Structure 1
Amino acid sequence: MSRAPRGAKRSPTPTSATFPDFPVSPQAPAPPAPGAPDGKPLYLCSPFVEAALVKGNFKTIVMLPKYVDIMEWVAMNIYDFYNNLNEFYGVISECCTNTSCPKMCAGPTLNYTWINQERKSVHLPAPTYIDYVMTWVQNLLEDESVFPTKSGHDFPPSFPATVKHVYRQLLRVFAHIYHSHYAQILHLRSEPHFNSLFAHFLAFGREYELLEMKDVKGAPGAPVGIGALYDKWREMGTVEA
């Protein structure tokens, strides 16, 4: 099983190679995302919440194929999730600016903070934060010691922990797009594609224990809107049985 050619390298990240956990700050609420008149986010409203390219439960397409190594299967899917999400963000990035998104938010009371080189938690504009995350992931994907592509090279013992870090950060990019830029996704008539990508991402993460539900749903005092989306898709039978 081979992987597709890798894309162009992004600018180097100014942070260290070790990617820490990012604490969540409930301070400075972000502006509410566009939604229905009753205040419900558009991605939870019909017909948008039902829009998908794949009908049925996404669990059926995340199962490990016969004779495929589980590490290789996870690595290949991480590569695909990264590239697809990066393409979506690239399309709507003109709407994600330092002015429109001065903080990396995923809810009216939820902001993610960055740990800088001085080990201090700082707020960053969403486009800067996302660029740092996507740069870090691409650097990992291009590192043969982390994501080996040559026959005879084994995955490192730290690979499962690394993949969980990757998953957590990609989830935050998804969360920001749903919260702040779903109107642009609708304008492009891409909601079936974006919903399908995220449902696939959730189903895969749950199947291989890469996702923590606390990251999906957020803290009690700072819930994440995609947590409600996840619950809705569970009721619909889109993710999990």
Structure 2
Amino acid sequence: MQGLIDIFKPERTFRPQRKFTRDSKRGLLFEKAQATLGLQLCMSDMVVVPPGEDKYEWIAVHAVDFFNRISLIFGTLTDTCLSSTCPAMSHSNGSKRWDWKWQDNVRYKKPTRLPAPEYIFQLMNWVEHELNDDELFPLSSAEPWPRDFMRRIQRIFTRLHRVFVHVYYSHFRRIQEIAGEAQVNYCYKHFWFFVNAHALIPQSELEPLADLASRICRKRKDYPDNIPPGLIPSTPPKPHKSSLFGYKKS
């Protein structure tokens, strides 16, 4: 995550960063997960549950980690992602279109069209509330995981993925301007391999970034073909031209 922090200023994080107690079970598991980043390992190997570890703990740790990283990325875009520039959480690629409305069964009891920044604000608030739920994420290993853990965690990851979609479709030029393309691509690649390895997001929700995934999410070593966290390229890698982004950086 250090590479993201170097480019995406932590003081501008969209939501406060969540941290693990250093000597806790999840804190130790988080350190184990972070230790694999940047190593010359296949991404498909990095996301596998380590031998002897609990699968749900592994997923819980990554839910918090991805929440922090996505918050850091989007926090840099809050001055350009405005209701006037992004009036809806809608994106299209050719004949395909995705139009997301917000519903949380609390304030928004019915699907409601919101400007993208408000949609993402509500989304991240909702995810943070879920991550703070001690019933969903038991504090003690002696407490059982809830029966609906996978259903709820799948919804968390599905909604977090929509933030990636908005970043790539609506703000990728800004990401390039701050030389953050390699870091965001690496973060998404890690996210993509993780959710596919653990069946956390339906393929229909991954479809908006399928073109991107077909290019950067390949089962091969990530170094030196892709820049791992902590290494900032002197010049951003040249982006591929595609219908997804529709332009090249000049």
Q: Same fold (TM over 0.5)?
A: yes
- Would you say 1:3 and 2:27 are equivalent positions? yes
Give 1:151 shift.
Answer: 3.5
Moved more, 141-150 or 178-187: 141-150
| Residue from 103, 106, 110 that aligns with 2:91 | 106
Post-superposition Cα deviations, 1:50-106, rounded to whole Å, max 9, x if no partner, equal: xxx677641121011111111100000111001110111111111111011000123
The residue that corresponds to 1:131 in the other structure is: 121
- Would you say 1:173 and 2:156 are equivalent positions? no
Structure 1 residue identity aligned to 2:191 = F
Cα distance, 1:81–1:216 mapped onto 2, change above 3 Å:
same
The residue that corresponds to 1:227 in the other structure is: 210
Identity fraction in percent: 26
The residue that corresponds to 1:72 in the other structure is: 57
Residues 4-153 of structure 1 mapped to structure 2, 5 A cutoff: 57-107=42-92, 109-115=97-103, 117=105, 119-153=109-143
8 Å CA contact 2:88, 2:114 repeated in 1: yes
Residues 150-169 of structure 1 mapped to structure 2, 5 A cutoff: 150-169=140-159
Partners of 2:40 and 2:74 lie apart in 1 by 24
Give 1:232 shift.
Answer: 2.0
Cα distance, 1:56–1:72 mapped onto 2, change above 3 Å:
closer
Partners of 2:44 and 2:59 lie apart in 1 by 14
Partners of 1:236 and 1:70 lie apart in 2 by 22
Structure 2 residue identity aligned to 1:146 = L
Q: Once superposed, what is the RMSD of the aligned Cα atoms?
A: 2.3
Partners of 1:116 and 1:156 lie apart in 2 by 20
8 Å CA contact 2:192, 2:217 repeated in 1: no
8 Å CA contact 2:26, 2:57 repeated in 1: no
Partners of 2:40 and 2:86 lie apart in 1 by 33
| Residue from 197, 205, 213 that aligns with 2:203 | 213
8 Å CA contact 2:120, 2:163 repeated in 1: yes
The residue that corresponds to 1:26 in the other structure is: none
Structure 2 SS opposite 1:189 = coil
Higher relative contact order (Cα pairs below 8 Å, separated by 6+ residues):
1
Structure 2 residue identity aligned to 1:229 = L
Q: How does the TM-score come out when normalised to structure 2? A: 0.68
Aligned positions, number = 185
Structure 1 residue identity aligned to 2:215 = K
